[in-house]
Amino acid sequence: MAITDYATLKTTVADYLHRSDLSDDVISTFVQLGEARLNRKLRLIQQENTDDVTLTAGNDYAALPSGWIETIDLIYSSDKRELQAQNIKSLNSQRSYDNSTSRPYLYAIFGGRIEFEIIADQTYTLSMDYFKGWDIATDDTNWLLTNAPDAYLYSALLEAKAYIKNMQDMTIWSQGLQTAVDDLNNLDSRTRRNATVRMDGALVRTSKFDINRGY
């Protein structure tokens, strides 16, 4: 059976396990846990997303976009000024604790939200570039399932083997998953490298770029 969506993925997992006694809920858990592993291992260009973030006046925090797994950058939508990422310890050392307000320029991701060093003096719209996690149960299908169904299959099977306590094929599935992850990361590196080369070549061909002056 071809793996084309969430349902056919779960059916294939059951087929590979040669088990007809596992409930749909159990197999769904295998897929969920396997996908969580993939979301930790992969940072592909297809996962990159941009969403608005609203920082409301009087707050020093804002909600993360749905599906966020890692930030690329965070800027003000109005003037494209970039906010500087900090760890929470560094951010706390620079916080204002006297209830003063201003335009924030520092942030940290902590406690499932975006924390800022100062209370916002007005409502700001920010733009966040970030990696968004795959969510096959919600989306039914996605780029990863279409282009690398083996990654989903092997990751789910690894979780299944742990559940049914049959370690016989664990090495096979583990090697298959690692190969799929490595192939995806290598493909992503080539895609990014080729995109950079094409962009640089386009700059050289325009009258706005003087290769001798470097601008």
Residues 18-32: tens digit of each pLDDT: 888 899 999 999 999
Question: Which residues, 6+ apart, have CB-to-CB distance to 22 below 8 Å?
Answer: 14, 160, 164
Question: Which residues, 6+ apart, have CB-to-CB distance to 168 below 8 Å?
Answer: none
Question: Residues 35-45: what's their mean pLDDT?
Answer: 96
Give the C-alpha separation, 177 to 182, whole Å.
Answer: 9
Residues 94-135: tens digit of each pLDDT: 998 888 999 999 999 999 999 999 999 999 999 999 999 999
Question: Which residues, 6+ apart, have CB-to-CB distance to 193 below 8 Å?
Answer: none
For residue 52, the tally of other CB atoms under 10 A from its CB is 10
Place of tokens 């991701």: 109
User: 106-110 and 48-55 as β-strands: parallel, antiparallel, unpaired?
Assistant: unpaired
- Is a pLDDT exceeding 80 seen at residue 59? yes
In this prediction, residue 70 has a pLDDT band, given cuts at 50, 70 and 90, of: very high
Compute CA 142 distance to the chain's CA centroid, rounded to the nearest angstrom.
13
Average pLDDT in the chain:
90
